[in-house]
Amino acid sequence: MKIVNREWHLAHGRRLTLGPEARLMAIVNVTPDSFSDGGVHMGRESALHHAFTCLEEGADIVDIGGESTRPGAAPVSAAQEQDRVLPVIEALARQTDALISVDTYRAETARLALAAGAHIVNDVHGLQREPEIANVAAQAGAGLCIMHTGRGRTVLADPIEDQRQFFKLSLDIAARAGVTPETIVLDPGFGFAKETVEANIGLIARCSELLALGFPLLVGTSRKRFLGTLTGRDAQGRDVATAATSVLLRQQGASIFRVHDIKANRDALAVADAMLALAQDDGTGVDHKPRGDEIDG
């Protein structure tokens, strides 16, 4: 697998090198009902403490979310979402130089979060629920995570072809809004209307095919239900299985890993990166240069 190095352009003049080493995005859910940690980090101080811990453990990015995306979760208003995430983002931006992502599909929440200090917009609806979010990201020069979902629509029989068609629509929205390609990463959306073990494992096995779209991949298998089906463990007991999928997806060319447990995935991915480095050293064609530190513009 050829790992290509590139600079991911983010808001506020920041950049992050993708490729040489796996990057970790920490999940901080400021929600009462997320599937594995609902209520655990509810409130500004609890969420900040968890964010600081994740950064100490090696997270490159902190992803702040204020609305659960689990199936059947109660919807929240834009005002509720903003009341949850904005104080955390403001404090994190003030107290650290961490890269901050806001997990939202709402254009107004994204705009306020970027103004509060966020660098990245992570949209689980792939710009297709509120397309104006693409304009918000473009105006701020924000990093943009475009996720695939099969919820609420008919999906194609071939999962990769469905991903291609979905992302074509999303990327068209981004292009019309003036989003620059250097700000975009794609997320295949594990668990989002991929209901079976076979659907998710099959997507892991074919994930490298998505690299042909020309963008880095962000993946989020952390504690997902298919891992519980495979292992028989509840959500909090799925971190070892998550780390296994992270290694497999790193071998498939993924660059960013959105996870709950930073330590376990950091260690597992360090082994995967060592294998990639060895492949480069023995001439097998992996473009794996020494780690480049984060670059500020």
Question: pLDDT of 165-219, one tens digit each?
Answer: 999 999 999 999 999 999 999 999 998 889 899 999 999 999 999 999 999 999 9
- Residue 1 confidence (pLDDT): 64
Instruction: Give residue-wise pLDDT tens across range 252-280.
Output: 999 999 999 999 999 999 999 999 988 87
Cα–Cα distance between 152 and 138 in angstroms, integer? Answer: 27
In the set 106, 223, 225, 258, the catalytic residue is 258
Average pLDDT over residues 11-16: 98
Instruction: Give residue-wise pLDDT tens across range 122-156.
Output: 999 999 999 999 999 999 999 999 999 988 888 99
3-class DSSP state for residue 189?
coil
Largest interatomic CA distance in the chain: 55
Q: Which residues contact 27 (CB under 8 A, 6 or more apart)?
A: 37, 63, 65, 222, 258, 259, 260
Residue 296 near residue 101 (C-beta atoms within 8 A)? no
Residue 66 near residue 76 (C-beta atoms within 8 A)? yes
Would residue 224 show up in a list of annotated catalytic residues for this protein? yes
The domains located in the chain, with CATH, are 8-19+101-279 (3.20.20.20)
In the set 224, 225, 250, 266, the catalytic residue is 224
Residue 114 near residue 122 (C-beta atoms within 8 A)? no
Measured between alpha carbons, how far is residue 172 from residues 99, 120, 134, 176, 177 in Å? 27, 19, 10, 6, 9
Tell me which DSSP letter residue 210 carries: G
Cα–Cα distance between 222 and 240 in angstroms, integer? Answer: 10
- Residue 289 confidence (pLDDT): 43
Average pLDDT over residues 236-259: 97
What tokens does 186 get? Answer: 């794609």
- Residue 24, beta-bridge partner list: 257
Cα–Cα distance between 2 and 153 in angstroms, integer? Answer: 34
Q: Is residue 48 over pLDDT 80?
A: yes
∠ CA 210-213-216 to the nearest 5 degrees?
Answer: 75
What tokens does 208 get? Answer: 């490298």
Lowest-pLDDT range of 68-72, 74-78, 82-86: 68-72
Q: Is residue 113 over pLDDT 60?
A: yes
3-class DSSP state for residue 58?
coil
Q: Is residue 109 over pLDDT 60?
A: yes
- Give the pLDDT band (50/70/90) at residue 290: very low
Q: Is residue 34 over pLDDT 50?
A: no
More confident residue, 41 or 154: 154
Average pLDDT over residues 85-108: 97
The model's pTM is: 0.90
- Residue 296 confidence (pLDDT): 46
More confident residue, 282 or 12: 12
Average pLDDT over residues 105-124: 98
Would residue 164 show up in a list of annotated catalytic residues for this protein? no
